[in-house]
Structure formats: structure tokens, C-alpha cells
Amino acid sequence: MFFKGKKILVVGGTGTIGSSIVKTLLREDPDVIRVFSRDEHKQFELQNQLGTRKNVRYLIGDVRNYDRVYTAMQDIDYVFHLAAMKHVPSCEYNPYEAVLTNVHGTNNVIRASLAQKVKKVVFTSTDKAISPTNAYGATKLTAERLITAAEYSKGLGQTVFASVRFGNVMGSRGSVIPLFKEQVVDQGRITITDTTMTRFMMTLKQATSLTIKALEEARGGEIFVLKMPIVSLKDLATIVIEETCHKCGKKKEDVVVKEIGLRPGEKMYEELMTYEESLTAWEVPEMFIIPYAKGSGAGPIYKDAKRATPGTYRSEGHPTLSLDDLHFLLKREGLV
């Protein structure tokens, strides 16, 4: 087991993906997992979920504070960096706050990792970092570039840096499924940006396992682009309305669907990999791997890797999950 006896820091470890990574890594019997976040209530909730464990430590701190990040990384082997401002409207309204957390915070993680001689760092990015149209995407793209740049500017440093890029995680805090359910119950209607909108979506289990796999596979500087289903927002709303109405005794015909149009900085479709990136990318069954330097790697350096087919990986123009398949997935994950 890769993490057995190792020391791990999860920055942003009380978020949806962070806490899932913590729970998953505990199965491999690590020496210690340090859960780093600034939200003491969410830390309290996670402690209650996990119970008393000698190998879990809870550290209150802000990724913006270099000294605190540096202290948290003492004697650490592996770092998962998930702390971020994530909500598009919040970042649009408070752009410099997004810069402080997503950009300066990532730079603090890089500096502290090198100073503390951490073995590997994996940073979680987003599809919104590709051709960004909002402050959130722009800051995550900059953070990606910092991680990649750290690989070739680290001098004698031995830390391996890599990024993981994925889309929306179904059912995560602040995501659209819990919002739709709440609107149906409380208001008898839902607001939807545009019924033709599509999004990359994956389950929490997929996001967790592939992020962990990316850290295990990382050689240095690459971006791992996780493959995931494309979902129609209209189909998603239809299923959530039907299931929620069934559970709360409402008639689905009475639920009004109101289109409100794109919010500032929002896209109709999302991208996970540009055409230019695909020209140097490798493909494995569960993900694409973009090396940090053009032409790097004369042959496959990842198991079962082949050259990716040139092309843009985006949610427009590709088949979406069928209504039945999406319904099955949501039911299986306990989301409806």
C-alpha cells in the first residue's frame, strides 16, 4: 500500500473532497494524516465522523499564512492541496480574496513543501481554468501554472509537483443538486441557468480515487485530466424534481422551472483540455496526462499509456449521459 506508514497533509481537508480523501487514506494505515483548514466547525464535524484516531491531527490554519503552512508540513511525505475559494459568484464579487487564497495560498504550499523537503504535492484544479471567463478560473489557472513552474524552477529541491483537473463533483457542498432539492421543497420551483447547458460531472468516489492515483503516478510537473461523464442540466433538473417530489409528496407538474440566464463569468459549456495540450498528452484508461514540457517523454512512462488523439476535450458536442444512466448514477450515489 502506497501510503502505509507515511505522513500526509491534506490542505483543505474538511471540504467535500478533502474529507473523502482523509477517510480513504486511513484505510492504508498511514503514520499520520494532518487535516488543515480554517473552519473549526467543519473540523469538529469531521472529528465526530471519524471518532478517536491516534493517527489523525486537526490543524486550524489559513493557506494564506505561510508560517502556519510551513509548520503544518514539518516531517510530511505527501501533500494534497485542496484549499480554495470555489464559488464563481463569490470570486467575481471578491476577486482579490480569490487571488489571496487560490494564488498566494498555492505559492505558500509550494514554498513550504520545498523548505520542508516534502516528497510529492498534488494540487486540485478545475475545468474552469481552461479559457477562463471568471476570476475563479483565472486564479486556478494561475495556480496550475505555479505548480508546473515549481517543477522546473525548484533547483536542488526534490519535491515532485503535479496538478489534477476535473469538473463538478456531484452532491458536493454548494453544488447544484442540493440546491435544486432545496428549491423544490421550499419554493416549489427551481432556477436553472439554461436548459441547454452541459457540465462535466463525476461522483465523489471517482474524484477521490483518481486524485489519490494522480499523486501516486506523478513524475513531476504534469497535469492529470480526469475523464468524466457529461451531464445535461435539463436532464439533471428533471430527475431531481421527479425524485424530490416523490419523497415530499408534491406533484412534479406543479414545480416551475425558471431559466435565469448566465451569471457573470459563467460559461454555457466547460473544457478540460485544449487542443494544444492534447498534442503532447498521454492517455490512460481513466485520465489524460499532460507533461509539463513539450515533447517530454520519448515513450510511455505511465502504465498502459498511449498518445492522446488530438482534439479539445469539452462538454459541448459530445454525448451526454442518457436520462436512464444519469438516474441510475444519482440513485446509486444516494443523491436523489
Name the residue among 25, 19, 41, 124 with its Cα closest to residue 77. Answer: 25
Q: Could you count the other beta carbons within 10 Å of the beta carbon of residue 251?
A: 8
Report which of 151, 199, 166 is spatially closest to residue 320, judged by C-alpha positions.
199
Q: Tell me whether residue 128 is one of the annotated catalytic residues.
A: yes
Rounded distance, CA 222 to CA 143, Å? 13
Pick the catalytic residue: 128, 140, 181, 213? 128
What DSSP assignment string belongs to 159-215? -EEEEEEE-EETT-TT-HHHHHHHHHHHHSEEEES-TT-EEEEE-HHHHHHHHHHHH
- d(C-alpha 268, C-alpha 283), whole Å: 26
Total residue count of the chain as it appears in this document: 336
Residue 289 gets the label, from left (phi > 0), alpha (psi -120 to 50) or beta, of: beta
Phi, psi of 133 (to 5 degrees): -120, 10
How many other CB atoms are there within 10 angstroms of residue 60's CB atom? 12
Q: Is 106 helix (H, G, I), strand (E, B) or coil?
A: helix
Neighbours of 194 (CB within 10 A): 14
All three cell numbers of 179, joined, read: 440546491
Nearest partner of 169 among 133, 136, 126, 140, judged by Cα: 126
Q: Is 221 in contact with 146 (CB distance < 8 Å)?
A: no
- The cell 536542488 sits on which residue? 156
Which residues are catalytic, by number?
Answer: 128
